[in-house]
């Protein structure tokens, strides 16, 4: 579309002007081709969308229950691409450092073993942190992360199966969010109880017993980070037969 517009400016428009001059006064000027007119009208819009998606905000859809109750299947979210620095599209080269993930951030990243697949989880460990789990409670550098159980228990879906989960509030990085904690034993992992390597991060889902996260996939390199999830812009719940209006516009914490 942009190529067609540029070709018209550089060559075709001049040819039309020459043809109009040759036809003499009173002749009807040649019309701009429909394809050129279409390209001229829509190319700025397409360019603006591409720039916004590449450098500012990109929409994503939540495909699984691993981040419940913070995010649920059917949520459509905006991800801030510039929160962790501006990167060139395709090349993924950082051109401007603007910030780094903090504990508690909900972040989208490219799966290290399959960069074409995007995951969304919560950052629980930054470079140098030693993250552990003891009886469902996160420990960071030997200090327990504040965890308050509400006394509420729910049946939670996990890949077609259901399990009983306790509802709790966790305070990480100064922000308070809800988590689901099942009755299963703490998941063993070679990526816990050791320092997170420099330039990498450890992530977990809020639905702790139904999440393929850093305990399985390992640490996330900084260059795999896409951005920080900031807001729900739409929700479509297939089981409810439509959107859950109360979720639209919610800030992601």
User: 195, 200, 253, 204: which is closest to 224 by C-alpha?
Assistant: 200
Q: CA–CA separation, 239 vs 233, rounded Å?
A: 19
Q: Report the relative pairing of strands 131-134 and 220-221 from DSSP bridges.
A: unpaired
Asked if residue 102 lies in contact with residue 154, where contact means CB atoms within 8 angstroms, the answer is no
3-state helix, strand, coil split of the chain in percent (to 5) is 20, 40, 40
Active site residue 80: no
Active site residue 121: yes
Polymer length of the chain = 253
User: 120, 8, 14: which is closest to 59 by C-alpha?
Assistant: 120
Encoded tokens for 180:
């689901």
Encoded tokens for 98:
């603007």
Choice among 39, 65, 83, 121 that is catalytic: 121
Choice among 39, 64, 65, 66 that is catalytic: 66
As annotated, the active-site residues are: 66, 121
């Amino acid at each position: 579309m942009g190529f067609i517009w540029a070709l018209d400016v550089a060559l075709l428009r001049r040819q039309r002007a020459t043809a109009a001059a040759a036809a003499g006064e009173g002749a009807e000027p040649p019309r701009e081709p429909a394809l050129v007119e279409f390209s001229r009208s829509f190319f700025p819009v397409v360019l603006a969308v591409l720039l916004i998606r590449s450098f500012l905000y990109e929409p994503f859809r939540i495909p699984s229950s691993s981040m419940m109750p913070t995010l649920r299947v059917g949520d459509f979210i905006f991800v801030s691409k510039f929160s962790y620095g501006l990167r060139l599209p395709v090349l993924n080269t950082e051109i401007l450092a603007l910030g780094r993930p903090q504990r508690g951030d909900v972040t989208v990243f490219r799966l290290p073993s399959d960069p074409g697949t995007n995951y969304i989880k919560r950052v629980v460990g930054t470079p140098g942190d030693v993250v552990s789990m003891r009886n469902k409670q996160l420990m960071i550098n030997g200090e327990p992360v504040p965890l308050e159980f509400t006394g509420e228990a729910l049946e939670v879906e996990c890949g077609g199966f259901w399990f009983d989960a306790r509802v709790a509030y966790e305070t990480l990085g100064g922000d308070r969010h809800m988590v689901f904690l099942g009755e299963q034993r703490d998941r063993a992992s070679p990526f816990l109880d050791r320092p997170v390597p420099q330039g990498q991060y450890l992530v977990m889902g809020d639905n702790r017993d139904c999440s393929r996260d850093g305990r399985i996939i390992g640490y996330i390199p900084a260059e795999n980070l896409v951005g920080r999830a900031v807001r729900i812009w739409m929700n479509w719940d297939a089981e409810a037969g439509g959107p859950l209006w109360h979720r639209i516009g919610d800030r992601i914490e």
